[in-house]
Every structure is written in C-alpha cells, then in structure tokens.
Amino acid sequence: MFVDEVQVIFHAGRGGDGKASFYPGFKSGPDGGNGGDGGNIYLETSSDLSLLNRFQGKKLWKAQDGQTGGKYNKTGKKGDDLTIVLPLGSILIDQDTGETIELNDIGQKILIAKGGRGGKGTNALASPSNTTPKFAQPGKPGQEKRIKIVLKLIADLGLIGLPNAGKSSLLNELTNSNVKVADYPFTTLEPNLGVMGSIILADIPGLIEGASSGRGLGIKFLKHIEKVKLLLHCISAESDNPDKDYRVVRKELTQFNPDMAKKEEIILLTKADTVSEKDLLKKQKILKKHGQVFSVSLLDDKYHPSHLPVFR
C-alpha cells in the first residue's frame, strides 16, 4: 500500500539530571557533574517513495535521553541523535504553529527537534556566595513536534488522463517499470514513478468526472502532479469523444487547483495502432485546438513514443 500522508510526533531526548555530590574525606567541595544533553532529531531525504509506510504502526519517534552526571565532576553522556529518512517531496506541517517545510533535494538534512540541555551538577552550581549547593539541576525536556507529513511526487513529466488511457503501459515501455496493466479501468491504484535517462515520469491513477470532489480514486493523487513540470495528457484513440475526455480531466485539475491550468501540457493520443489512419487524423484535428498533439503506440513503430522530442 502506498502511504502519502501521516501524522507523527517527534520527541527529542530529555537532558540528563545534574549530580548532587561532594568529594569524600578531607577534600571539601561539590564534585557533582552535569547531565548530558538529550539527543536531537534530524530529517533527511531519500528517493525511496515507500518510506512513509513505516509510520503507519508507529506514531511516536523519540531520540535518546542524556545520562545523569556523575561523581568527580563527570559529565553524563549525551543522548544519541535520531535521523529519520523521508521521501523526496515530503512537506512537513507543524500542527501547532502551522509552519511548513518542504524537502525537495536528495540528501537534504534538517534539525526538526532539539534535545534538552543537561542539568548542572553541584560542581557547576558552586559560587562564592554558595560554596556547597545542596541540590543539582534537573535536565530540560527535549522539543516535541507534532508533524503532518504530506508527500507530493517530484517528477519532470506527469501522465494524466481517464482510466484505461494507456498511461501505465506507456510508463512501462519508456522506463522498464513493471506497473500492472489490464484492459479495464482502475488498474493503477497508486502513483508510480519511472526513470528514463535523466527524466523522471509519474503515472497518476485515472481521473473521472467528479474526482476533484472525491469521486473515484483520483482525488487522493491529484496533489502528486502539483509539482510536475510538464503534463502528458493521455487520451485513447479508441474514444468515441476525445474532446469530452480532454475536457473532463482538465476540469477536474482546474477545480482541484487552478494553478494546474497554467502548467505546460502535451496531448498524447494513445493506442494509435487500434484505429484507422483516417480516424486517427480526425481525432488529432479535434484535439489540436487544445494544444500540441502527438499520436503514440506501443506496437506501431511509426508512432512509438520514443520518437517524440519530449522523450529524447
């Protein structure tokens, strides 16, 4: 199952308590050491899109506490830091402050929760006015952050269209992916990524009329094409009304986010080998009023998608 939205709690380590202690025997004075600082929590990015799955059964992620200070002015050990790896494209929303952080670069690393300071021991607390402090300081609690993580895929090209428009087959052909395909709607139940050279392609589950208001499977995945640089709008050459198919998908994109209407788009008339040349040219002409149109087929080399400039 593809998880693209979770709510978690990041709790940095608590600082260790200071030590209340005094030198034994004839040597007077306090010797209690300071507590160690609590561990920090860092977030780092990776290209692995499945990383949010592990948050499903674990909501609280905690760094190690600092250790208590020791006798003879020994400082307690600092708590181990915790580094959590998140998928590229993660958006972090602080549930208490509303602050938003985007992780858009591979290897990006940020501090999300700082560990608490260790408490001072009696040695550090001693002063001319209080040479024998009787109590040491407790450690400070680490920061706690309640974070909502939303994943939005970052790709160069986004394949969109109605169900069964040939998007997954196209992704498989171009990128050697192994996405499930079949001759019925809603074969794709989650977004898929593929890589062709330096180009990253995202295949989004088919959209139907009303997707932007919750119908079908598309609403959950519309957000994944908000960051895509170029839309590849797939329309089946077998369609009886390609113009309507185009308008349905465009309407849902615009209603979900008006900015999507401004994205650059290329129309791909897929399954070009399944209709006559005359019918194909007629449908190309119908769609040309909406923008650039190319016919593609996985069987007919004349219309193979690798011939298109966008895939070179």
| In contact, 205 and 189? CB cutoff 8 Å | yes
Q: Is 168 annotated as a binding residue?
A: yes
Q: Is 188 annotated as a binding residue?
A: yes
Q: Is 163 annotated to bind ligand? A: yes
206 is known to lie in a ligand binding site? yes
Residue found under tokens 């069964």: 164
- Rounded Cα gap, residues 186 and 167, in angstroms: 11
Q: Residue 251 class from Cβ within 10 Å (0-12 exposed, 13-18 middle, 19+ buried)?
A: middle
- Is 190 annotated as ligand-binding? yes
Are the beta carbons of 123 and 30 closer than 8 angstroms? yes
The two tokens of residue 169 are: 């087959």
d(CA 215, CA 237): 25
Are 10 and 144 contacting, i.e. CB atoms less than 8 angstroms apart? Answer: yes
Query: DSSP 3-state assignment of 303?
Result: helix
Residue 272 labelled as part of a binding site: yes
204 marked as part of a ligand binding site: yes
Is 102 marked within a binding site? no
164 assigned ligand-binding residue: yes
DSSP category for residue 245: H
Is position 166 annotated in a ligand binding site? yes
Indicate if the alpha-carbon torsion angle 4, 233, 270, 301 is positive or negative: negative
Residue 239 annotated as binding site: no
Q: Residue 310's closest CA among 186, 200, 184, 190?
A: 200
Contact present, 108 and 120 (Cβ < 8 Å):
no
The tokens for 176 are: 């050697």
96 annotated as belonging to a binding site for a ligand: no
Q: How far is CA 52 from CA 75, 149, 185, in A?
A: 37, 8, 27
Is 277 annotated to bind ligand? no
Annotated binding site: 161-168, 186-190, 203-206, 270-273, 297-299
Q: Binding site for Mg(2+): which residues?
A: 168, 188
The annotated binding site for GTP is made up of: 161-168, 186-190, 203-206, 270-273, 297-299
